[in-house]
Structures are given as C-alpha cells and as structure tokens.
Amino acid sequence: MSKLDDIVSLCKRRGFIFPGSDIYGGFAGTWDFGPLGVTLKKKIMDEWWHYFVESRDDMYGVDAAIIMNPRTWVASGHLATFADPLVECKECKSRFRADKIADGITESVTTEEFLDTHTKCPVCGKENWGPIRKFNMMFTTHVGAVLPDDDAETTSKNLAYLRPETAQGIFTNYKNIIDTIYPDIPFGLAQQGKAFRNEISPRDFILRDRECSQMEIEYFVAPDTWEENFEKMRALQHEFLEKIIKLPADKLHEYEVPAEDRAHYSKRTIDFMFDYPNGEEELMGLAYRTDFDLQNIARESGKSMEYRDKKINETFVPHVIEPSIGVERLMLAVLSTAYTEDEVGGEKRIVLKLPENLAPYRFCVSPLLKNKPELVEKARNVYQKLRDKYVNVTWDDSGNIGKRYRKQDEIGTPKCIVIDFDTLEDDTVTIRDRDTTEQIRVKISEL
C-alpha cells in the first residue's frame, strides 16, 4: 500500500474526506468533506485570507457568482483555448489525457509525438490510438426554461457554463471596485470559491478532481512595475507555504513554465511544485497575465478598463500578477506532510503531525474513567472552559485512555488533557503531547 492509499484510508476512517455520493457507489472526481475535513479546509482558507487580505492595506475581497454571463468565457479565451489533449484507445474506447499516461510529453503534444512514445492503453494494454483531440474542460448548463425537445437555437441561447476559475469573477468586478472605493495602485482583489473542471482523468485523490475550491488574487500594477511586483508576490507565496502552512521547504520546487505550455493569458508563469506521495505535482501557480483580461473585457463589453493614477496623473490599463492555489491540493500537501508512522511502546502508531494552527482540534479533554461521576463533572467543567476560550476542543470518553490517545493522534490533536483523581485533590491535569507522547501536569488555571 502506498502512502497515498494510507492517507485516503485515514481520511475516510476518521471523517476527513469521503468519496462523493458514496452511498450510491461514488461519482468520479468528486469528494465530500466530513466534520474534521471541513474544519481543516476552513482553517487553511482562513489562514490564507488573513495572510493575504486581512493583514494588508492593499487587498480587498470579492465573492462573485459561479454562473456568469457566457460572454465572460468568450472574452477570457476559455471557450477557444481551455482544453486538454484527449486520446482514445481504438480497441476498448477508453479515453485519457495524453500527457498524463505517457512520459516526456506536455499539454501541447501532437499526435505524432504521442504515438512515438509507444504508450500502451492502461485499460486493455493495446497500442492502437486515435488522433489527439482538444477537449474543452468547462461544464455546460442551461439557464432558464429549456425543454428536452427545444431546437438547437433555443437551447444555445440559454447555454451557460460553470466557472473553471474564480479569476474572471474578479476581473468582471474590477470596474465596480475602482468606481466605488478607487484603491491606490498597486492593489489586489482576492476571492475564494468553487471552480469546476471536467477533467478527462481525475486521479490521485483530491489532487485532480472535477469540483474544487480555489484561492486567487489578481494584483493590479502599473505596467512598468510588473517584474518587481512579481518577485514580491513570489516571495510571499514561499513565506505563506513554509511559515504559515508549515510545508517543508525541501519538498517545494519552482518550475519556470516554457512559453508553449503556459496558459493563453500568461506571459510568465512559475508553477510551485510539491513532492506528493505519488510524485512531484503542481501545488499552485504564479502568473503574469499582463493586461490580457482587462483589454479583452473592454473589447467585449465596450467599456473602458483604464485606471487613472492620482499620484502621477496618468491613465493606463493595469497589468496583473496572479497567485492561484487549489485548496484541495494544498490540503493534500498538508496531510501528506503530517502523515507519520512510528512506534510507541513497541506498537505501530499512525499520527497526523498537523501544525497547531491547522489541527481540527487544539485539545481533547477526557475523564480518566467515564463511570466516575465526579471525574466526568470536573472534566466537563474543564472542557467547557477550554471550548469557550479556544473553540476547537473535543471531548472523548470512549474506550480506555490508550485508545483515546491513538484516536487523537490519528486526527492530529496536539494535546490531550486528562482529568484523574489527583485533579480532584490539587486541580492539576495531565497534558499529553501528540508528537513526543510526553506527559506533564499543569494547573487548570494555567491551561
């Protein structure tokens, strides 16, 4: 069993993440978050929001609609270019994303380049491929009253798309922001929310799925300052990932994306790669989008996207630096970093060594024995005080104390607090550390 399989098993067993629609046999590329997964995900998103928005004077938040006017995706170029290389096996009719089943090729692979790899079909083992075709990954839907027997023209008028990125909701609100609060440039607009991509081959747990949460910033700058602002934003990504989220620096790698593999809107992109259990994969991207989006919106809408810089009394269309990160990819990086197996007392132990700021629970409170009312009453009192102060506190009185420790180790709780008979005498409790398993006694008043 690979480490990724171990993480998937732990996530389901302990209520972090379940397969989507599991009761009906699942639905490929979708995942549901249980009580602990929701809390971990929220803490990651809250840390990002605090670091990049709340703690800065030049960042502002937006929350745009998921279903947008279809002209959005014409202007952005997604209708024309948001596509992956799809290849079909002529033998079993299975379809795959070509660059994910063959070694040494990229998203821009041609049919000839793919055939030269002599890749065998992962399903039937044959080597009989059709031509590479571009597959647009946007999900389509219909807005309004559309009936199954409507003609193609009626249907097309009601056609809409689930957004494949949160960025366009920011760009379409750019003019609203400068018309209402007119921030000094440079300034950023940030958004967290759902995005949808009809992946050809969803895989690797929550790394590549069809419904995900994104955290994106569009940082608007004067055209001649993009390089210095790009470097500043680059440094901030490292600081956030390494100092706040506590990802190991030696597992993070920068990849300068070559021109032929960059998104259609990008003049420069750095992918931040991470060493996941199944290999190095993209964690996030930092892109210089130039004025591509605003200029396209101006053409499509007929409205000016110019910004007047009050300090120098000049008018220009801002350029944009964009850091974009998928929450689920970041969550998997956190889980794979935290997942540890060691031995305690000669027995194997599974422990999630989550950073304290991300752990679903900061403390677990337990009475030594649940059939002793005086211990339970005292433990409940301690539990309530800690919950009032720290919020993320859990209660556990199931099984013996050793089994409780193992359970809390697996869900990443940093400290377990046990109320025993000495507590009734001197108001001290035992605090047990998750990572070292060491125990100390502390006054309740000092918790």
**Residue 389 has what pLDDT?**
93
Q: Above 60 in pLDDT, residue 192?
A: yes
3-state secondary structure of 407: helix
The DSSP code sequence of 369-394 is -TT-HHHHHHHHHHHHHHHHHHS-EE
Q: Which of 257, 263, 270 is nearest to 227 (CA)?
A: 270
The strand ranges marked E within 75-162 are 83-88, 95-97, 133-136, 140-142, 159-161
Q: Above 80 in pLDDT, residue 151?
A: no
CATH, domain range 3-66+162-335: 3.30.930.10
Q: Is the backbone peptide bond immediately before 186 cis, with ω within 30 degrees of 0?
A: yes
Q: Which of 338, 216, 333 is nearest to 265 (CA)?
A: 216
**Residue 1 has what pLDDT?**
52
Superfamily of domain 361-446: Anticodon-binding domain (3.40.50.800)
Please give the structure tokens belonging to residue 49.
Answer: 């929001």
In the chain, where are the structural domains located? 3-66+162-335, 83-136, 361-446
Q: Above 80 in pLDDT, residue 229?
A: yes
Please give the structure tokens belonging to residue 318.
Answer: 């801002």
pLDDT digits (tens, 9 = 90+) for 77-108: 888 777 889 999 999 999 999 988 998 888 88
**Residue 147 has what pLDDT?**
73
Q: Which of 278, 93, 94, 294 is nearest to 204 (CA)?
A: 278
3-state secondary structure of 307: strand
pLDDT digits (tens, 9 = 90+) for 124-140: 999 999 999 988 889 99
Categorize the per-residue pLDDT at 195 as very low, low, confident or very high, splitting at 50, 70 and 90.
Answer: very high
pLDDT digits (tens, 9 = 90+) for 308-336: 998 888 999 999 999 999 999 999 999 99
pTM to 2 decimals? 0.90
Whole-Å CA distances, 264 to 76, 83, 238, 259, 314: 9, 11, 25, 9, 29
